[in-house]
């Protein structure tokens, strides 16, 4: 990417509150980088996050400089390789297409070319993704989180083909349980419970994804059997007796625009994917807030190390000579892009980080 000369000092974009934000949400101020280029030619391999970071101090401010509302964020006008993003310094906005003429107005045909546009042929196929898709691909359709009573009544494997201990591709699995009219299922094994770092209550279970199965013959209770016959279509791990089934979910929308949550959110890191204790850039963590807390795909949170509570030996002591306890400020360490949400839990990709993220760290709305 070629940088062009910058003019003047940092430009401050006017504060804009999203249309769907609640009245309690604090306004957010977005600033352009002092070294922001005059233009950027979009190339294959670019991500919306990287392009936004080229121009903006905070990449999640992208919707502000495009004047996007919440509908635009959820159903974005895609940007494609070969298009040019221009920095309109006078207006403090980013434009798509050709530079704006000095006399351009509302009815100026040229102005219509200066916003992200939709391709009707193969919509989104070649569009610039929000974040690197390869990093989160395995997490988009696998169950991952099992909440509330989702385990109750789930179909389960009760026997294997010819007494096999474990099943592989094309093997038969015998299943009991209600199928709900579905024929394609994922196979999973419940893992360890996830506990809220604050309340210590169990808020879900992280499931181990084992593979997929397809219905071959549905049970015929009138014939004296309530067992369904399935065929294993894929197996990433060994599948066996007692493993449970879940209908394959629809493919979620993959390309929401990075944006602050519509309402204030404060959460804690519940787990680091992979069973490790610390996470760095491009690693995945889960947090104890989800759809019911106002999070959606594309929401960006700031990550903080939770400030420790320490004794203040410099203050006057209290009863029985006890030292006062004070909480140190939370220290910002990075940003988190939410890419999958459940009712009370969400998965996020760590976008930038200055120190390792660990369980119990704070993730909250940008300030």
pLDDT over 70 (residue 109): no
pLDDT over 70 (residue 241): yes
Query: Minimum mean pLDDT among 221-225, 252-256, 289-293, 299-303: which range?
Result: 252-256
Three-state SS across the chain?
A: CCCCCCCCCCCEECCCCCCCCCCCCCCCCEEECCCCCCEEECCCCCCHHHHHHHHECCHHHHHHHCCCCHHHHHCCCCCCCCCEEEEECCCCEEEECCCCCCCCCCCCHHHHHCCCCCCCCCCCCCCCCCCCHHHHHHHCCCCCEECCCCCCCCCEEEEEHHHCCEECCCCEEEEECCCCCCCEEEEEEEEEEEECCCCCCEEEEEEEEEEEEEEEECCCHHHCCCEEEEEEEEECCCEECCCEEEECCCCCCCCCCCECCCCCCEEEEEEECCCCCEECCCCEEEECCCHHHCCCCCEEEEEEECCCEEEECCCCCCHHHCCEEEECCCEEEEEEEEEEECCCCEEEEEEEECCCEECCCEEECCC
- For the chain, first and last CA: distance in Å? 30
Check residue 296 and give its pLDDT. 92
Ranges for all domains in the chain classified under CATH 2.40.10.410: 266-364
pLDDT over 90 (residue 309): no
Q: 156 or 99: whose pLDDT is higher?
A: 156
Check residue 124 and give its pLDDT. 59
Task: Report CA 188 to chain centroid distance, whole Å.
Answer: 22
Task: Kindly report the pTM of this predicted structure.
Answer: 0.74
Query: Minimum mean pLDDT among 222-236, 259-273, 311-325: which range?
Result: 311-325
Query: Minimum mean pLDDT among 12-26, 126-140, 145-159: which range?
Result: 12-26
What distance in Å separates the CA atoms of residue 193 and residue 207, rounded to the nearest whole number? 9
Check residue 255 and give its pLDDT. 64
- Report residue 28's pLDDT band, with 50, 70 and 90 as the boundaries: low
Give mean pLDDT, residues 203-209: 86
Give mean pLDDT, residues 254-262: 83
CA torsion sign, 129 to 130 to 132 to 136?
negative
**CATH of the domain spanning 266-364, picked from 3.30.160.160, 3.30.365.10, 2.40.10.410, 3.10.20.30:** 2.40.10.410
Query: Minimum mean pLDDT among 46-55, 125-134, 153-162: which range?
Result: 125-134
What distance in Å separates the CA atoms of residue 361 and residue 93, rounded to the nearest whole number? 34
What distance in Å separates the CA atoms of residue 300 and residue 258, rounded to the nearest whole number? 6
């Amino acid at each position: 990417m070629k940088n062009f000369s910058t003019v003047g000092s940092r430009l401050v974009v006017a504060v804009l509150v999203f249309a769907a934000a609640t009245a309690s949400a604090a306004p957010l101020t977005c600033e352009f980088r002092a070294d922001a280029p005059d233009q950027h030619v979009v190339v294959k391999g670019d991500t919306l996050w990287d392009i936004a970071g080229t121009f903006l101090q905070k990449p999640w401010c992208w919707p502000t400089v495009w004047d996007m509302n919440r509908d635009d964020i959820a159903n974005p006008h895609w940007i494609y390789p070969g298009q040019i993003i221009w920095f309109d310094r006078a207006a403090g906005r980013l434009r798509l297409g050709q530079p704006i003429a000095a006399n351009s107005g509302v009815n100026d045909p040229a102005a219509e070319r200066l916003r992200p546009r939709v391709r009707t042929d193969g919509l989104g196929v070649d569009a610039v993704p929000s974040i690197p898709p390869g990093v989160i691909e395995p997490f988009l359709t696998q169950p991952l989180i099992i909440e509330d009573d989702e385990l109750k009544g789930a179909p389960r494997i009760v026997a294997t083909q010819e007494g096999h201990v474990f099943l592989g591709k094309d093997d038969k699995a015998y299943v009991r349980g209600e199928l709900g009219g579905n024929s394609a299922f994922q196979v999973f094994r419940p893992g360890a419970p996830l506990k809220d770092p604050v309340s210590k209550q169990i808020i879900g279970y992280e499931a181990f994804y084992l593979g997929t199965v397809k219905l071959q013959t549905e049970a015929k209770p009138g014939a004296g059997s309530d067992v369904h016959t399935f065929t294993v279509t894929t197996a990433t791990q060994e599948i066996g007796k007692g493993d449970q089934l879940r209908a394959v979910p629809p493919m979620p929308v993959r390309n929401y625009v990075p944006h602050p949550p519509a309402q204030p959110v404060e959460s804690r890191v519940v787990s680091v994917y992979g069973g490790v204790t610390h996470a760095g850039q491009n690693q995945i963590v889960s947090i104890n807030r989800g759809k019911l807390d106002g999070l959606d795909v594309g929401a960006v949170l700031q990550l903080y190390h939770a400030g420790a509570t320490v004794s203040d030996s410099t203050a006057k002591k209290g009863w029985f000579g006890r030292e006062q306890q004070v909480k140190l400020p939370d220290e910002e360490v990075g940003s988190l892009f939410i890419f999958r949400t459940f009712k009370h839990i969400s998965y996020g990709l760590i976008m930038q980080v200055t120190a390792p993220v660990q369980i119990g760290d704070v993730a909250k709305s940008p300030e």
